[in-house]
Amino acid sequence: MKRLAELGLRHLEIEFVRGVKMGQDTAKEIRALAEEHDISLTVHAPYYVNLNSAEPQKISASKDRIIQAARVGAWAGATSVTFHAAYYHDDDPEEVYGRVKCSMEDMLERLDDEGIAIRLSPETTGGPSQFGTLEELVRLGVDIPGVYPCVDFSHLFARSLGEFNTYEHFQGALQLIKDNLGAGALQEQHIHLSGIEYGPKGEKRHLPLEETEFRYGDVLKALVDFDVAGWLTCESPILEEDALILQGLYDELKST
Ligand SMILES: [Zn+2]
């Protein structure tokens, strides 16, 4: 937290991607430090999640992992927890949508019962085998009030095999959210951004900004033009270096 503040960065995503191993004491310590240094927090739940598994016990374990990430995230004062919701396998996307929706409702009920106040934000995913187009996630938000997508713009670029890569596309994505979930959604937007490389199956790996074809500068421009607020995490392999590039570019666009 101290280092982030020194660098002039203002947000951190707690990456529970390989499992939630943090206890309440550490989470509370993080909360105090984040408040002291004025840093906002979000959480990434474990990768081992599939709300469309053929095995019911795997769906149940997936929900438990998301809930655990949400619980610890809430202790730390995080605002939103994101996760990659499901794989389609060979199922009809409409059926997958129904199953994800059902799991989302179940998890929200459990969070509510436990009094855990944190947003569940399924993420736009990087490959066509994964549930999580922006349209699917916006639809979830329409069907379940209080659910908002975590928009990973780099994933949308990768899953479109490079097509989603213009200012108009980025603007269109923000407009879709605004039209369906309200202008307020863009005031508390969970966002991921990084360089990325794709192949025939979508996302291959994250890249440093300098090495990507993805036009992240135009994403920032769209965010500024739509007056988007919220939490942006840089998921580049060179985290703070690239985060500083994004922050610098954003500040520059914002001031012109
Ligand atoms: Zn992710």
Q: Give every CB contact of residue 47 below 8 A, 6+ residues apart in sequence.
A: 17, 18, 84
C-alpha 102 – ligand 1 centre gap (Å): 21
State which of 105, 122, 139 marks the end of a domain: 122
What is residue 52's predicted lDDT score, i.e. its pLDDT?
A: 98
State which of 122, 147, 173 marks the end of a domain: 122
CB-CB contact of 236 with 209 (8 Å): yes
State which of 95, 122, 149 marks the end of a domain: 122
Same domain, 37 and 62: yes
C-alpha 249 – ligand 1 centre gap (Å): 23
C-alpha 116 – ligand 1 centre gap (Å): 22
Same domain, 143 and 110: no
* Closest CA relative to residue 247, chosen from 206, 216, 212: 216
Same domain, 137 and 114: no
C-alpha 43 – ligand 1 centre gap (Å): 10
Ion ligand 1: residues, CB within 5 A, are: 123
C-alpha 101 – ligand 1 centre gap (Å): 19
What CA–CA distance (Å, rounded) separates 118 from 77?
9
Same domain, 92 and 159: no
Same domain, 154 and 187: yes
Residue-by-residue pLDDT tens, the chain, 256 positions: 999 999 999 999 999 999 999 999 999 999 999 999 999 999 999 999 999 999 999 999 999 999 999 999 999 999 999 999 999 999 999 999 999 999 999 999 999 999 999 999 999 999 999 999 999 999 999 999 999 999 999 999 999 999 999 999 999 999 999 999 999 999 999 999 999 999 999 999 999 999 999 999 999 999 999 999 999 999 999 999 999 999 999 999 999 8
C-alpha 237 – ligand 1 centre gap (Å): 14
**Domain CATH code at residue 230:** 3.20.20.150
How many domains, the chain? 2
Same domain, 117 and 148: no
Cβ atoms within 10 Å, residue 93: 12
Same domain, 185 and 103: no
Q: How much is the pTM?
A: 0.97
What is residue 256's predicted lDDT score, i.e. its pLDDT?
A: 87
Residue 198: domain span = 129-256
Same domain, 58 and 135: no
C-alpha 16 – ligand 1 centre gap (Å): 11
Same domain, 1 and 115: yes
What is residue 53's predicted lDDT score, i.e. its pLDDT?
A: 97
Same domain, 188 and 108: no
C-alpha 150 – ligand 1 centre gap (Å): 9
C-alpha 83 – ligand 1 centre gap (Å): 6
What is residue 220's predicted lDDT score, i.e. its pLDDT?
A: 98
Same domain, 139 and 117: no
Same domain, 245 and 138: yes
What CA–CA distance (Å, rounded) separates 166 from 155?
14
